[in-house]
Structure formats: C-alpha cells, structure tokens
Amino acid sequence: MFLTISGLAKSFGDNKVLKDINLELDKGEVLSIIGPSGSGKTTLLRCFNGLETPDKGRMSFENGLTIDFGEKASKQSIDTMRKKSAMVFQSYNLFPHKTVLENVIEGPVIVQKEKRANAVERAEALLEKVGLKEKKDFYPHQLSGGQQQRVGIARALALKPELMLFDEPTSALDPELIGEVLTVMKDLAKEKWTMIMVTHEIQFAGEISDQIVFMDGGYIVEHGPPQEVLKAPKQERTKQFLQRILNPV
C-alpha cells in the first residue's frame, strides 16, 4: 500500500476539524474527497503534505517512512513526507512577476537544486502536456483562469511528486473554463498518477476515481468505490448531500 492513514485527528483550538481519519491509497489510484463546506476536506488534504500537522495519528508510506504524530513527529520526517507530494491550489498561487516558464522551473531549480537547463527542458515538455507551451513567456495576468490552473498543474508535476494533491482546482474558474482543467486531470488519471482530490465536481470524481470519501463534521461518513458511494450510498447523510448537489431545486 502506497499510503496508510490511521487515527488522524486535527483541532484548531476547541474546533475539532478531523476526527479519527483512516484511509489507504495504493500507487496509481485516484481518491476523491467530497462533502459540505467546513467538513474538514481541505484540512485533511493539507495534512498529506505537511501544510498542517495532525495532533495525533499515523501516516505510513510504502518505502518504510512512518510518522507518528502523537509522538511529535520530527521536522525531518515531515520534510521527507512533504517532498513526496505536490499540491495544486484552488487560487493558482502563481508568482505574478515571473513568466509561465519561470513559475514551472522555480521548484526544481530553487528547492530541488536541479540544473536550470534540465529544468527548462522538462518544464517545456510539461507545458506542452497541458497545452500551454506557446504561452511559456507570458505572465499570469495575461492568461485565463483555466490557463493559470493548467500552469499550476505543470508546476506541481515539475517537482516529480509521488503524490499529486488537488484542492478544489476548478472552484475559482468560470464554468466554461472548467473543462480544460478537468481534461488535464483525466489524462493524469489515465497515466496512473497517484492523486488525492478535494472537489465539488461530483460527476467528474465518479468518472476518474478509484475511491470516493464523503466527509461531514470532521468524520469520514462513507468510503468506497464511486459506484457504491455515488450510486447506492448506505448513509442517510450521504444521500442528503448528493440529492442537494446532483438535483438542486
């Protein structure tokens, strides 16, 4: 198993945001996390790459790295975990004063100390992959939201992560631009990238996911393959959520 999560919990003051989270993810699988706002989805995603540190629980990777947060995980182990993943944010988070190409090579050159020439070659290949090679010398303000998000995906891929994390990558986009980002993500799923995605795109999640998690109130309420969770949910709370999302009044 690529990643195993056991008993993960996280609070902000008196607010218990995550409660006893248990998950497994195999290499090449896509896991989608759905649920109402405030259910803990984004906090859970941020725990996977160290942007948030759980209060307790355990995270184990297939190469033997295990982090026990109840024992106050070391900075070194959290740094090692962080290097395994790359995140695509809902608000793009591109450097506005850098070109598209400079945004994509920033991580490999500055953080990973890769030779610039190698980083540029890989960045150009990734920009071609997301359909934006001709925009490599543009600045973010010269791009549409969908194009900026595709640059964000290329930037994440440039870090050569073992795990791709997507935090509602289409939520800031106009409806007509959503498709171009989902197409890139669908291609990544076909290429067997290991991915965890927080999304409100329920139909899309059903198409590309191996597992769906429905969260509410900090708990995993329902978990299983898409055909079970989306088509035949067992829990009443899941049924209510899907009814409101898929059949709005």
- Asked if the structure places residue 128 within a domain, the reply is no
What integer is the mean pLDDT of 174-189? 93
Mean pLDDT, range 162-185, rounded to an integer: 93
Residue 249 has pLDDT above 80, yes or no: no
Q: Answer for the pair 237, 215: CB distance below 8 angstroms, yes or no.
A: no
In a domain, 191, yes or no: no
The reply to whether 116 falls in a domain is no
Residue 115 located in a structural domain: no
Residues 233 and 65: beta-carbon distance below 8 Å:
no
Count of domains forming the chain: 1
Percent of the chain's residues with pLDDT above 70: 99
pLDDT of 78: 87
Query: Domain of 47: which CATH number?
Result: 3.40.50.300
Residue 8, phi then psi, degrees to nearest 5? -70, 135
Contact, 165 vs 48, CB < 8 A? Answer: yes
Q: Is residue 172 one of the residues assigned to a domain? A: no
- Residue 27 structural domain: 1-84+196-249
Give the Å distances, CA to CA, from 134 to 40, 147, 151, 233.
Answer: 38, 12, 12, 45
Q: Is residue 73 part of a domain?
A: yes
Residue 92 lies in a domain: no
- Start-to-end CA span in the chain (Å): 42
Distance CA 210, CA 227 (A): 10
Find the mean pLDDT for residues 210-237. Answer: 97
Render pLDDT for 30-67 as a digit per residue (tens, 0 to 9): 999 999 999 999 999 999 988 999 999 999 999 888 99
Give the helix, strand, coil percentages of the chain, each rounded to 5: 40, 25, 35
What's the pTM value of the predicted model, to 2 decimals? 0.94
Q: Half-sphere exposure of residue 238, counting CA atoms within 13 Å on the CB side?
A: 22
63 in any annotated domain: yes
* The two structure tokens encoding residue 9: 């919990």
Handedness of CA 213, 215, 220, 221 (dihedral sign): negative
Identify the DSSP state of 183.
Answer: H
